[in-house]
Each structure stands twice: as structure tokens, then as C-alpha cells.
């Protein structure tokens, strides 16, 4: 059984969300792609970013707050991972972020020439980096998406923040030319650090938001938020998602994708 994501054939509907597995070097030295249909490496920016000062991660009841701040070594270091991404038996989609429209365009121009990358997830919604959370403003969403669309001719998914009245923020991405949507990024939260909340606690909120847009949006969606089991995946699929991202669960169990896929197969065959 294959899964179609905007013309990209996936072995399973499970996606390794951008972030928890880094750029994949260490993870795929030890663990396989079993259970996964798509890998999205940690978000890359044009220039290296040092990220936020520690502490960066705090556990909460039912979740995890992170304030990493898009730390990464920049696009030119990321390009050196071509052999790794070509060696994987699943497609790879880049995740990018920029603090200006020019940075987004320059990243798109570079990645447009990479035949081993099937698409771009445009991260407009990092909750813990000043200047990079475009998704607070519908007009900014449109401008950023349009800037990438002008230079990038393959698959684009725009990753948005969880918002009440989500269609207000989704429509500008569609108007800007996105092919699909990643819904949603982590939920802004604060305890001893300010950052994004992920994990079990956010899933009921995201389910509510997806129910709200279910009959109003007709482009593919990758659902994200609090996925730890096959029943979590099925709930998102039944709400119209084309694929489902796994994130925080990898910290609990690096083999979680294979386990969820095996469990999901039982549901699908019954």
C-alpha cells in the first residue's frame, strides 16, 4: 500500500518531523528508516545560527518545552550531507527558515537544483526565534510563500503556528502558492523558559483546529502534534491529513516509527 503526498509516493504515511532527529547524521548511523515514509531534517537557515542560550529544554506534565532557536550550521554545511540523503531509502524534504524574504529566496534557489530533495517545508512558525515567526501575520505568510514559489518549482509545504481561526492564516499560504500545509508547529508556552510546547498535551488542541478546517481546506495536510501511537495517527488521517509527522516521541523511543507503523497496519487491515 503506497501513500501519495502531492505526487510523492511514500511507503507509509509517517513522517520524521523537522527537529528531533537533527540533520540525520547520528540517527541514521544507528537506526533505520523502518516505518517512515519521509524524512524532514532540522530546519536550515542561510547563515549558521548559534541558537538560544541554555537552558533550552524543559519537561512538563504531558509535554516538552524547547527553546533551541533554530541552531544549525547553515546551508553550505547542510549541502555536504548529500551522500547521506541519497543513501536513504525514503524521500527527503528540506526544512528552511529565513529572517528576510531574500534569505528565503536564496535558500529556495539553492535547493531547487538538488534532485535528491523532493520538496521544501517552509518553516514560518518557530515560536522561539525573534524575526522568524512569520505566521503571526497573514500578509507576511503570503509574502514569504510567494517569495519561495517564485524561485522553487517543486513541492512546497508551509508550516504554520496553531492559531484560533486558522483559515485566516492558511489562506495566505495557499494564495502565495504552497502545495500543502504542515499543521501545526509547537504551541507557544512558558515555564522557566519561553519556547514551544510539544508532546501529548497539545494533541487535543490540534485535533480541534483540524476539525475546524476539515471542510474548508482542499490541499494536502501533514498533521503534527502529540503523535505517540497508531490511534493518534488514525485520528489525524480521519480528519483528512495525507501524512502524519512524529516528533517528540522519538526522544522517548528512537524506534517509534516502526512500532507505530506495525500497529497501524493491523488497524488498516482489519
Range of the domain at 8: 3-269
Q: For the chain, what is the mean pLDDT?
A: 94
Q: First vs last Cα of the chain: how many Å apart?
A: 14
d(CA 6, CA 201): 30
Instruction: Assess contact for 13 and 244: CB atoms under 8 A.
Output: yes
Is the bond into 209 cis (omega within 30 degrees of 0)? Answer: no
Mean pLDDT over residues 129-147, rounded? Answer: 83
Do residues 21 and 27 make contact, with C-beta atoms less than 8 angstroms apart? yes
The one-character DSSP state at 119 is: E
**What is the average pLDDT across 222-241?**
97
- Selected catalytic residue, list 90, 126, 174, 257: 126
Q: What percent of the chain has pLDDT over 70?
A: 96
What confidence tens digit (pLDDT) does each residue in 233-262 have? 999 999 999 999 999 999 999 999 999 999
HSE at residue 189, side-chain half, CA atoms within 13 A, is: 23
Q: What is the CATH number of the domain that holds 181?
A: 3.20.20.70
Please state the domain count of the chain: 1
pLDDT for residue 189 is more than 80: yes
Distance between CA 243 and CA 250 in Å, rounded?
17
pLDDT of residue 100: 93
Question: Catalytic residue at 6?
Answer: no
pLDDT digits (tens, 9 = 90+) for 141-167: 999 999 999 999 999 999 999 999 999
Residues 6 or more apart whose CB falls under 8 angstroms from that of 138 comprise 168, 169, 171, 172
Nearest one of 196, 255, 197, 207 to 231, comparing CA atoms = 207
pLDDT (0 to 100) of residue 269 = 78
Determine the 3-state secondary structure of 134 from DSSP.
helix
- Cα–Cα distance, 166 to 172 (Å, whole number): 11
Amino acid at each position: 500500500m503506497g501513500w501519495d503526498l502531492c505526487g510523492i509516493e511514500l511507503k507509509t504515511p509517517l513522517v520524521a518531523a523537522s527537529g528531533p532527529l537533527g540533520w540525520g547524521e547520528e540517527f541514521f548511523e544507528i537506526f533505520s528508516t523502518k516505518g517512515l515514509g519521509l524524512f524532514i531534517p532540522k530546519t536550515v537557515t542561510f547563515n549558521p545560527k548559534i541558537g538560544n542560550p541554555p537552558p533550552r529544554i524543559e519537561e512538563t506534565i504531558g509535554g516538552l518545552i524547547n527553546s533551541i532557536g533554530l541552531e544549525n550550521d547553515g546551508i553550505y554545511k547542510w549541502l555536504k550531507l548529500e551522500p547521506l540523503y541519497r543513501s536513504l531509502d525514503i524521500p527527503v524534504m528540506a526544512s528552511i527558515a529565513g529572517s528576510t524574504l531574500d534569505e528565503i529566496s536564496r535558500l529556495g534557489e539553492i535547493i531547487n537544483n538538488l534532485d535528491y530533495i523532493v520538496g521544501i517545508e517552509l518553516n514560518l512558525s518557530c515560536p522561539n526565534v525573534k524575526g522568524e515567526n512569520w505566521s503571526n501575520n497573514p500578509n507576511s505568510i503570503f509574502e514569504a510563500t510567494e517569495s519561495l514559489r517564485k524561485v522553487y518549482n517543486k513541492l512546497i509545504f508551509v508550516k504554520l503556528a496553531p492559531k484560533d481561526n486558522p483559515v485566516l492564516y492558511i489562506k495566505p499560504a495557499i494564495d502565495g502558492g504552497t502545495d500543502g500545509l504542515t499543521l501545526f508547529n509547537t504551541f507557544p508556552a512558558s515555564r522557566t523558559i519561553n519556547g514551544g510546547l510539544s508532546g501529548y498535551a497539545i494533541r487535543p488542541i490540534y485535533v480541534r483546529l483540524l476539525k475546524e478546517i476539515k471542510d474548508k481546506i482542499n490541499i494536502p495536510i501533514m498533521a503534527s502534534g502529540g503523535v505517540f501511537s497508531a490511534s493518534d495517527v488514525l485520528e489525524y488521517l480521519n480528519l483528512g491529513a495525507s501524512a502524519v509527522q512524529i516528533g517528540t516521541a522519538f526522544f522517548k523511543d528512537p524506534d517509534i516509527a516502526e512500532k507505530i507503523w506495525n500497529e497501524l497496519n493491523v488497524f488498516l487491515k482489519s
